[in-house]
Amino acid sequence: MYTPPFSPLFATRPAASPAVRDVRSFNSAPAEQLTTLLSFMTASRELARTIVVGRPYLDAADVYSAASRALVTLPTPLLEGIVDAHRPVDRVPLVEDAWMAGKVSDDQLSDLREAALGYAAAQGHLFIADPAVWGSPEAVTMIPPRTGPDIGAVIDAVGEDIDRRLRLPGAQAWALTVAHLEESNRQKLVTLLER
Mean pLDDT across the chain, nearest whole number? 88
Look at residues 20, 1, 7 and name the one whose alpha carbon lies nearest to residue 97.
7
Show me where the domains of the chain are located: 14-74, 87-181
Amino acid in position 94: L
Helical residues (DSSP H) of 2-150, grouped into ranges:
23-28, 31-42, 45-53, 60-72, 76-85, 93-100, 106-123, 131-134, 137-140
pLDDT in tens, 108-156: 999 999 999 999 999 999 999 999 998 888 888 887 777 777 888 999 9
Maximum mean pLDDT: which of 2-11, 92-101, 113-122 = 113-122
Look at residues 177, 190, 185 and name the one whose alpha carbon lies nearest to residue 67.
185
Q: Sign of torsion, CA 61 93 40 166?
A: negative
